[in-house]
Amino acid sequence: MPVQPLSEAGKLTLRAAPRFNVRQIINAVPPSIFVLAALLLFCLFFRPVLLQLPFQMVIARQAAPLGLAVAAQMIVMRCRSIDLSIGGIFVLTNYLITTAPLNDMSAPVLILGALAMGAVIGLVNGILVTQFRASAVIATLAMASILTGTVLFLSSGSSPGSVPDAVQTLGAAKIGIVPIATVIWLAVLLLLAIPLRLMVFGRLLKAVGSNPVAASLSGLPVEGVFIAAHVAAGLLAAGGGLLLSGYVGVSTTSVGTDVVMNSIAGVILGGITFGGGRGGLIGPCAAAFTLTLLFNVLNAYGAGESGKLIVQGLAIAGAAILAGMARQARR
């Protein structure tokens, strides 16, 4: 049998083992994971009481409304938009479920009505952005002002009543030691992962967020994606308003006043870049828990509202810098 040349028989090549690239791993992990790890380590040495299971469950319950707000902001930011009306939706949701005769309705009707209200507001935001070519910042900021002003006008600056028992159960009750609000938050994230990961909407959102011009030239329904994203954001914001109202237990015109800034900080800290069209749910979820834990640490040290504002700014600036470094590393 003739002997084949070495070039035809094949050469035994030695391939180098894949190198352990620390930079790639750091770029792939959302900043919220590192911040949470550092914060837990700080608590371990200086505030170990916050790491006890009862306190962790309290923090998880407090993080649930913010978690839904972060999820709402994440969806619109992934398609190069933003929603500054989330705080107004929180205020209006609280007013609707606490004012007579609306709070005399059955619990399912009341809850579904509040969610429908959030979806309608999101629809209006989406139409303003797509059909009237209004800036998302201007349109949603104006919507927030309108919603808050309407509540102040109708309530004359005073609280109309208390939160119904059914909503208080959602926001403050527990199943064993696990808060119901936390269960709802995680369940919503799991349901949200289905269209984002497995359905056409997730691929459309990624395509539109990555390059809306190319997506439009390809025949994709860019305007429909924008509207659907804003409707989903309004729906999630109303859900967050219900959980926060149930946790507070009373009517107040100041509910959710800082939720917009916290939601933006949570999205950026969670590794979602504006218009990147990509990003999972783990990072924003960890960011909501991290910010809530951080605010509790600040309260433990007496930092108060001033410390919270400083942390919000630092979180947004720091996460934006990390996101920019990650984009440069991928090029």
| CB count in 10 Å sphere of residue 233 | 32
**Apex CA 237: angle with CA 236 and CA 241, to 5°?**
120
Q: What angle do CA 143, 149, 151 make, to 5 degrees?
A: 105
Predicted confidence (pLDDT) at residue 130 exceeds the cutoff of 70: yes
pTM of the model as a whole: 0.90
Tally of domains in the chain: 1
The verdict on whether omega for the bond into residue 101 sits within 30 degrees of 0, i.e. cis, is yes
- Residue 8, pLDDT score: 46
Q: Tell me if 220 is assigned to some domain.
A: yes
Closest CA to 193 of 202, 182, 183: 202
Cα 307 from chain centroid (whole Å):
22
CB of 250 closer than 8 Å to CB of 163: yes
CB 54 within 8 A of CB 112: no
Tell how far CA 133 is from the center of its chain: 25
Max Cα separation, the chain? 100
Q: Please check whether residue 226 lies inside any domain of the structure.
A: yes
Asked if residue 92 is part of any domain, the answer here is yes
pLDDT, one tens digit per residue, over 259-298 is 999 999 899 888 887 766 566 889 999 999 999 999 999 8
Buried residues in 78-110 as b, exposed as e (16+ CB within 10 A): bbbbbbbbbbbbbbbbbbbbbbeebbeeeeeeb
Query: Would residue 110 count as lying in a domain?
Result: yes
Asked if residue 260 lies in contact with residue 88, where contact means CB atoms within 8 angstroms, the answer is: no
Predicted confidence at residue 277, as pLDDT, reads: 56
Domain that holds residue 87: 55-256
Is 32 within the bounds of a domain?
Answer: no
Residue 311 is assigned to a structural domain of this protein: no
180 in a structural domain: yes
Q: Tell me: the pLDDT tens digits for 234-257?
A: 999 999 999 999 999 888 888 888
CA dist 267 and 286 (Å) reads: 10
Is 327 inside a domain boundary? no
